Amino acid sequence: MRRLAAGCWLGILAFVPLLAAGQGSESRALKTLDAYVAAHAANGDFSGIVLVSRHGRRIYEKSVGFASRSFSVPNREGIRFLVASVTKTFTAAGIALLQDEGKLKIGDGLDLYLPELAPAKKIKLWHLLAHESGLDNPDYDAIAARAVSPDELVAMIGAKPLLFEPGADSRYSNAGYVVLARVIEKVSGQGFGDFLQRRIFSRLGMTGSGALGSGAIVPRLAEGYIPGVGTGFLRPQPRDPSALFGSGNVYSTAADLDRWLTAIDRHELFDITTQPYPFGWGKRTWFDKQVLVQSGITDGYSSIILTVPKEELHVVVLMNTQSGFTGDEGKTLLGIAAGQPATLPAKRAAPAAVPRAVLERYAGLYLWGQAKIPLHIQTDGQVLSLRWADSAAVVPLTPLSESEFLDRTSFGRIRFQDQGLLWTQNGEDTPAPRGQE
Evaluate whether 175 touches 133 at the Cβ level (below 8 Å).
Answer: yes
What CA–CA distance (Å, rounded) separates 8 from 65? 6
What is the per-residue pLDDT across 192-233, written as a single tens digit (0 to 9) for each?
999 999 999 999 999 999 999 999 999 999 999 999 999 999
Confidence of residue 238 (pLDDT cuts 50, 70, 90): confident
Neighbours of 149 (CB within 10 A): 12
The domain spans of the chain are 2-80+212-238+246-337, 88-192, 356-433
Q: What is the CATH number of domain 356-433?
A: 2.40.128.50
Confidence of residue 420 (pLDDT cuts 50, 70, 90): very high
What CA–CA distance (Å, rounded) separates 359 from 229? 14
Evaluate whether 61 touches 49 at the Cβ level (below 8 Å).
Answer: yes
What is the per-residue pLDDT across 143-182, written as a single tens digit (0 to 9) for each?
888 999 999 999 999 999 999 999 999 999 999 999 999 9
Least confident of 17-21, 112-116, 235-239, 245-249: 17-21
What is the per-residue pLDDT across 355-365, written as a single tens digit (0 to 9) for each?
999 999 999 99
Q: Which residues of 345-373 are buried (b: 16+ CB within 10 A; e: fewer)?
A: beebeebeebeeeebeebebebbbeeeee
Looking at domain 2-80+212-238+246-337, what is its CATH homologous superfamily? DD-peptidase/beta-lactamase superfamily (3.40.710.10)
**The pLDDT of residue 28:** 87
Can 2-80+212-238+246-337 and 356-433 be said to share one CATH topology? no
Evaluate whether 260 touches 204 at the Cβ level (below 8 Å).
Answer: yes
pTM of the entire predicted model: 0.92
Evaluate whether 387 touches 393 at the Cβ level (below 8 Å).
Answer: yes
Q: What percent of the chain has pLDDT over 70?
A: 95
Identify residue 76 by its one-letter amino acid code: R
